Amino acid sequence: MGIPATLLPPRWILGFALALLGARLRAQDIQVPPPPFTEGIFPCSACHDGKTLKVNPVRRELQGMHADIQLQHGPASRWCLDCHDPQDRDRLHLASGEKISFKVSYELCGQCHGEKLRDWRAGVHGKRTGSWNGPKQYLLCVNCHNPHSPHFQALKPMPPPVRPEAIQARRGGAL
Amino acid sequence: MTCPHPPEGPEPGRRRFLGAATTAMGAALATLAGCGRDQVEAFLQHNFRELTPDELRDTVARLEREARSKYGKEIHIGTEPALPGVLFGYALDLSRCIGCRRCAKACVKENNQSRGPQIEWIRVLQMDKEQGVDVTHADPYYDPELVPQEGHFYMPVQCHQCRNAPCTKVCPVGATWQERDGVVVVDYNWCIGCRYCMAACPYGARRFNWGEPGLPAEEVNPDTHYLGNRPRPKGVVEKCTYCIQRVRKGRYPACVEICPTGSRKFGNLADPASEIRYILEHKRVFIFKEELNTKPKFFYFYGV
Amino acid sequence: MGTPRAWTRFAKDSLGHILVGNRLYYAWVGFLVLLIAVGTAAYLGQLRDGLVVTHMRDQVSWGFYIGNFTFLVGVAAAAIMLVIPAYVYDWEPIREITVLGEVLAISALVMCLCFVLVDIGRPDRFWHILPLVGRLNFPTSLLAWDVIVLNAYLLLNWFVVTYLIYCSYTRRHYVKALVLPLVLASIPMAVSIHTVTAFLFNGLAARPFWNSAILAPRFLASAFCSGPAILLVLLQILRKVTSLRIKDEAIFKVAELMAYTMGFTLFLTAAEVFKEFYSGTQHLMYTRYLWFGLKGHHALVPFAWASAACGLAAFLLLLIPRTRRHWPTLNLGCALIYASVYIEKGMGLIIPGLTPDPLGEIYVYTPSRTEILVALGIFGVGFLAFTLMLKVAVPIILGETTVDGRQAGRAVGPP
């Protein structure tokens, strides 16, 4: 159709509107708990205010603060600022540069783990509670997978069942 | 599904007459013999499917009384019927189960299973990844420090609520049947304990109360269903009922809720938007002992 | 046909026979009563504590009780081994002992019912299995079929025997038109009780060891040799302790028929073994467990080979006329057949059918003390029933006891 270009809204408004719409669609019907931050670590901007600490975009092994974080996630070329936004440390960033809240961090995980995200949305990946015929409560990816070292941790198993040979008659009836 | 549907209302004619006659006889017997009226009514109680609504109400009241005197605790025995348009299905992700057994233990707590002699409706098998699903080398008694163990995978087994159930076919007294929502149930007050159903089950899913169930009063879950997790007597068969006391109220079974890896999925097969249908449509699903044509409603899949 | 006076005299005379006997009789009955008392005490313990006092568990949920039940159904069915030649082929010597065969069938059936009663977890709910009053899942459940055919066969045998004995007692000839159809009907009925019992194992796809088409023929073949084995020994005892005359020829003929049925049983066993070992599927594990052991568990292996060896030896002893017609080897053959089939029905059928369990677990089942004592008590009941029935029947068959006290000729068969 021939709509004059001058009547269309500026591109940045369109982009912003689409981002908002996308975020709304993405967040629709998905009830998740708040992000499981370590005590006192958030907001990150308390230290990373852009003034006292300069942004150092060079990939390196961290010394001092955050040195305790074991980064075992994906290829060796991955590092912190691939996910944490350099300018706004209170948010994460997608590959497009779009910044997202920690509350919807699954959007970031889903960029590489698209099938998992799709399954997670359907309720098939990971633990999801609630009602089978009603509202459901999801978990964030990071509730089970440490984003820095996401491999699911082994658990101590609960005791094995009693062997049939060990089942004996009890005297005195019910406990 | 070709299973017979249980009658919804009271059965007319002969059974009602016999029921009334036996109730009257029972009352007379109780007076004559001087035994508790409850004991006589318990002896004469008919199959769940044949009880009128009044008889059912009296039976439930009697069972709640018995439980109160045995455990010193009020328990509620529900008789919720199947929700319409529902057929329950279950899926278990073999690529994600780590064999932690939390499902088996949560089931014990939720369903009032005997602690001694021990009964666990869910049995988790440890098998070798190299040999695949082959029960000849399965080990249910594994006990390492941490799970999952390298080279092994874990396969929990419980009642599959088969559509073509071999167990309901063989019961001589009709004490076990498939409900409209697909759950295979046992009437613990009608079962005679012949264990033919146990011989018939290809999944080893049924358990027998060899002795008086040992259930500590403080661990009794008071929220029960007549066909599900109410405390059972000695000498009867029991098994997983997909937590009928929960699912008929919209909740998930206890095993689904507790699984830390989210390997267990449950829902309504009749609802195209359910997660169980998503799994059947998008994942590699297989049926345990499929060649036996039991048509179970329990599916194993590989989520990864 | 009889007056109340005749019936009361019959009851009185019967009671008289039961209560009066020689020292051997008292010793035997006393021993059986002791067995029953021991069994009852053990059973009361089982009632109190539950079936946990047995060694059956979820993994092996049927055991010694059902093994004995299965064996005894075969014994009961074998009564027709004597009926077929007697009435179908009109063979004189066997007719006299047909009644005794049916008495054995009744005793065996009584034991069968007892074994079922002690095996179920809720004997107080036994009435649930009655049609009309309870809820019998007929025709879908094979156990429901078994309830019907076993009781029908019991009633039939009991009626025919009582009628024939009572006719002898009142010195009347029995009405052939009444008895012959019933006796002929008992042939398919006897086949039916063992076929239905075989089918109740056979129909379970969950148990590949039982889910084999030749299970029912195997049941019938082994029943037809084990039932008469017991009877032949009992007949020789009866010949010694009573004045009952039984021709040697009758005994040898039955022994010959037993040889053929044992041969057929061995053939069917070999067929089963071939199929499992040659095809070598996963289902082989049950047969392998029985004959060679599995994963270090060898409990059943000696029994499997012993059963086969006894069966083969018995087959040869009864096939070869010289050993068949020689009393010591004949009786040895009978004992070997009994042992072979008894082991095969218990350890060779029930346990390997359930071991390994559907999830591959091997639980080694051996009967507990309670199970053995209860079983002994039930055998006491069966032997006592057999003894008491014979104590009444034999003098009547011999014509020594009649309603009016006069000696009668032996009139068990038709005129």
pLDDT in tens, C174-208: 888 888 888 888 889 999 999 999 999 999 999 99
How many domains, chain B? 1
Q: Do B199 and C207 touch (CB under 8 A)?
A: yes
Q: Phi/psi of residue C266, each to 5°?
A: -65, -40
Q: For chain C, what is the mean pLDDT? A: 89
**Percent of chain B with pLDDT strictly greater than 70:** 88
Beta-carbon separation of B201 and C360 below 8 A: no
The answer to whether residue A169 neighbours chain B at the CB level (below 8 Å) is yes
B223: helix, strand or coil: strand
Q: Summarize pLDDT for C229-279 with one digit per residue, the tens.
A: 888 888 888 888 777 777 788 788 889 989 999 999 999 999 999 999 999
Q: In angstroms, how far is CA B126 from the centroid of its own chain?
A: 23
Single pTM value for the model: 0.89
Segment holding A175, helix H or strand E: none
Residue B90 dihedral angles phi and psi, to the nearest 5°: -135, 140
C50 touches A at CB < 8 Å: yes
Q: Are C352 and C292 in contact (CB under 8 A)?
A: no
- B29 pLDDT band, cuts 50/70/90, is low
| CA proximity to C56, closest of B202, A161, B195 | B195
User: Going by C-beta distance under 8 Å and a sequence separation of 6 or more, which residues neighbour residue B189?
Assistant: B42, B45, B48, B59, B63, B233
User: Which of C5, C51, C1 lies closest to C403, judged by CA?
Assistant: C5
Contact A168 C52 (CB under 8 A): yes
Contacts of B73 in chain A (CB under 8 A): none
Residues of chain A with Cβ-Cβ distance to C363 below 8 Å are: 164-165
Domain that includes residue B142, residue range: 88-302
Cβ C348 vs Cβ C40: under 8 Å: no
Q: How many whole angstroms separate alpha carbon B171 and alpha carbon B190? A: 11
Q: What is the pLDDT of residue B152?
A: 97
Residue B15 banded pLDDT, cuts 50, 70, 90: low
Q: Which residue of B has its CA nearest to C289?
A: B136
User: Chains A, B: CB contacts under 8 A, how many?
Assistant: 113
What pLDDT digit, counting tens, does each position of A87-137 carry?
A: 999 999 999 999 999 999 999 999 999 999 999 999 999 999 999 999 999
Question: Do the chains contact at C363 and A165, CB–CB below 8 Å?
Answer: yes
Please give the pLDDT value at position C91: 53
Which chains share 3+ C-beta pairs under 8 angstroms with B? A, C
Residues of A in Cβ contact (< 8 Å) with B120 = 161
Q: CA A120, CA A114: separation in Å to the nearest integer?
A: 10
Nearest residue of B to residue A174 by CA position?
B214
CATH number of the domain where residue B277 is located: 3.30.70.20
By Cβ distance, the residue of B147, B247, B303 closest to A154 is: B147
Q: Which residue type, as a one-letter code, is found at position C280?
A: G
Whether residue B46 has pLDDT greater than 50: yes
Tell me how far apart the alpha carbons of residues C271 and C277 are, in angstroms, rounded to a whole number: 10
d(CA C55, CA B214): 19
pLDDT band at C87 (very low <50, low <70, confident <90, very high): low
Whether residue C58 and residue A164 make contact (CB cut-off 8 A), yes or no, is: yes
Which DSSP symbol is given to B217?
G
Asked if the model's pLDDT at residue B10 lies above 60, the reply is no
Q: Do A132 and B250 touch (CB under 8 A)?
A: yes
- Could you tell me the sign of the dihedral formed by the alpha carbons of C319, C320, C323, C326, in that order? positive
From the list B99, B118, B267, the residue facing A162 with the nearest CB is: B118
- Lowest-pLDDT range, A61-65, A142-146, B162-166, C292-296? A61-65
Residue C212 and residue C249 in contact, taking contact as beta carbons nearer than 8 Å: no
Q: Per residue of chain A (175 residues), give pLDDT as tens.
A: 445 555 555 666 655 555 555 444 454 568 899 999 988 888 998 888 888 888 888 888 888 888 888 889 987 888 899 999 999 999 999 999 999 999 999 999 999 999 999 999 999 999 999 999 999 999 999 999 999 999 989 999 999 999 999 998 765 433 2
C-alpha Rg value of chain A to the nearest Å: 23
